[in-house]
Chains A and B, each alone.
Chain A
Amino acid sequence: AQSVTQPDIHITVSEGASLELRCNYSYGATPYLFWYVQSPGQGLQLLLKYFSGDTLVQGIKGFEAEFKRSQSSFNLRKPSVHWSDAAEYFCAVGAIQAGTALIFGKGTTLSVSS
């Protein structure tokens, strides 16, 4: 079955500390992988995506993610977290086939402490 697992429901990090949000996927075809961020009551903003090529992907707001096929993982990282990064983060997987909907993980809530 196709699925996305985000093992951590809620993470709290100190401002300035590093961050890693985990994402594992199960997909029958070559996956497209995405990370989105959502602020309360808002839509989703794309942080980064992986289609092919370099497995380390750079995104907006200083985020990066690394695709590891052997581990079926696509973990999101940021070296130094800012208070404004507090939000909900969703990992998603989609197919290369056009017109296929994304499958989302349950999300990880990030809190940033001062």
Chain B
Amino acid sequence: GAVVSQHPSRVICKSGTSVKIECRSLDFQATTMFWYRQFPKQSLMLMATSNEGSKATYEQGVEKDKFLINHASLTLSTLTVTSAHPEDSSFYICSASDDRDSIYTFGSGTRLTVV
């Protein structure tokens, strides 16, 4: 079945630094990738949608200059949290879709803690 690898699974960084999270589709071409954020005990909130080779589409209220998304290939998308602050601490999850089969496969998530 379709597999999405997300790294790192856990990261702690200092306030003001940047953190990059990678999301890779291992056995299919991910035409579209989605980035979600999940607060404790809450649901997944869509942050942005990215299509290979084009700029990401951000949801209302999500700062595109703070959460940089790159989808340079059909198997890799990255989310960079720039100038991280403690309020950015959260669980980030990516999802990849090959569009053809409308299959949405999720990564295992990244726990970001900003200290």
Chain A residues packing against B (C-beta within 8 Å) = 32, 34, 36, 41-46, 51, 90, 94, 96, 98-99, 101-107, 109
Contact = CB atoms under 8 A, between A and B. Distances in A.
Contacts, number: 55
Contacts of B107: 43
Contacts of A90: 43-44
Contacts of A109: 41
Nearest to B46: A101
Interface of B: 6, 31-32, 34, 41-44, 46, 49, 51, 91, 93, 95, 97, 99-100, 102, 104-109, 111
Interface residue SS majority, chain B: strand
Given A43-B6, A104-B43, A105-B43, A99 B109 contact: no
B77 to A, nearest CB: 13
A45 B105 CA distance: 8
Contacts of A107: 42-43
Contact of B100 (A32, A94, A98): A98
Contacts of A36: 106
Nearest to B107: A43
B106 A104 contact: no
Given A46-B104, A109-B41, 10 more contacts: A41-B91, A41-B109, A43-B6, A43-B107, A43-B108, A44-B106, A46-B106, A99-B97, A102-B104, A106-B43
Contacts of A104: 43-44
A90 B111 CA distance: 19
A34 to B, nearest CB: 7
B43 A32 contact: no
B63 to A, nearest CB: 18
A99 B43 contact: no
B93 A101 contact: no
24 contacts: A34-B104, A36-B106, A41-B91, A41-B109, A41-B111, A42-B109, A43-B6, A43-B107, A46-B104, A46-B106, A90-B43, A90-B44, A98-B97, A98-B100, A98-B102, A99-B32, A99-B51, A99-B97, A99-B99, A101-B46, A101-B95, A102-B104, A106-B42, A107-B42
